[in-house]
A = this chain, B = another copy of it.
Amino acid sequence: MKEFKVIEVKRSILEDNDADAEKLRQELKEEGTFLLNLMSSPGAGKTTMLKRTISMLADEMKIGVMEADIDSDVDAQAITEAGARSIQLHTGGMCHLDASMTRQGLLEFGAGDFDLVVLENVGNLVCPAEFDTGACRNVMILSVPEGDDKPLKYPLMFSVCDLVLINKIDVLPYFDFDMDKCRQYIYRRNPKAKIIPISAKDGEGFMEWTQWLREEVAAWTNS
C-alpha cells in the first residue's frame, strides 16, 4: 500500500494569480508554516537533495513534502522512504503549479501540522518561474552537468529565486563548468541571489544550506 496520498490538482479559473499567491502567504504566516518552492530542470537532483536535507533537519522541525509531477509517483515514494510525510500532486500534464493548485495540495496535506513544507515543483526551468505559488521563498537547483551558461538562457528562473544551489559539484572534474563564470551570470540576472555549491551525493555544502533554511524557517514562523 502506498503511504502517501495522490491528488489531482486543477488549474484555477482565477485571473489574478499574484493576488491569490499573496493571500496564500498570509494564510501560511497565520498558520506558522514556511512554504519553500523548489525548482530545477529534470534530473538536477531535487529529490536526492531533499532526502539529505530531511535527514539533517527532521529532529528540529516538522517537515512535509509536496511532490508535483505530471503523473508519476516516483518522488513521493522516495521521500516517504526517507522518513518524511509526503503527498503527491498530479498536475494532469500541466508544466507548473500556480497558487491555487498549491493551496489545494496544502489543504489536503494539512499544512498547519508542519513547520516547513517543501513544494517540489515540476522539473522545468521555464514555466514554474512565471507563476507565484504563494511560497515564502523560491530556491532552485542548477546542476553542474547542465552547464554554467544556464542563467543566460533561462533568465526569469534565476531572477525569481532567492537562493541557487549548484548541485553535483562532486563531478566538477568531468565537466567543463566554470563556477566563477556561473556566479557572474547568476548575479547578472539577480544581484541579490544567494549561491551555495553543494553535492547532494556526498553532503558537501549542506551545513551552509541547512543553516540558511533553518534561519528562514525561524524568521517566518516566529515573527
19 A-B contacts, Cβ less than 8 Å apart? A41-B146, A42-B125, A42-B146, A43-B143, A43-B145, A70-B126, A70-B153, A71-B155, A75-B153, A93-B130, A93-B156, A95-B126, A123-B153, A123-B154, A124-B126, A124-B127, A143-B145, A145-B146, A145-B168
Interface size on A, residues (CB 8 A): 33
Chain B nearest Cβ from A182, distance in angstroms: 12
B-facing residues in A172-210 (Cβ within 8 Å): 174-175
Chain B residue contacts of A149, Cβ below 8 A = 74
B-facing residues in A52-90 (Cβ within 8 Å): 69-72, 74-75
- Per-residue CB contact flags for chain A residues 150-175 toward chain B (1 = under 8 Å, else 0) read 10111110000000000010010011
Which of these, B70, B145, B154, B175, contacts A70 with CB under 8 Å?
B154
| Chain B residue nearest in CB terms to A170 | B174
Give 3 nearest A-B pairs by CB, closest first.
A43-B146, A145-B145, A95-B126
| A72–B155 CB distance below 8 A | yes
Chain B residue contacts of A175, Cβ below 8 A = 171
Chain B nearest Cβ from A2, distance in angstroms: 15
Whether, in the assembled complex, A97 has its beta carbon less than 8 Å from a beta carbon of chain B, the answer is no
Stoichiometry, as copies per complex, reads: 2
Chain B nearest Cβ from A128, distance in angstroms: 10
Chain B residue contacts of A127, Cβ below 8 A = 95, 124, 126-127
Whether, in the assembled complex, A122 has its beta carbon less than 8 Å from a beta carbon of chain B, the answer is yes
Known: A124-B126, A156-B70. A147 touches B43 (CB 8 A): yes
| B95–A150 CB distance below 8 A | no
- Per-residue CB contact flags for chain A residues 39-55 toward chain B (1 = under 8 Å, else 0) read 00111000000000000
| B70–A150 CB distance below 8 A | no
B-facing residues in A79-137 (Cβ within 8 Å): 93, 95, 122-127, 130
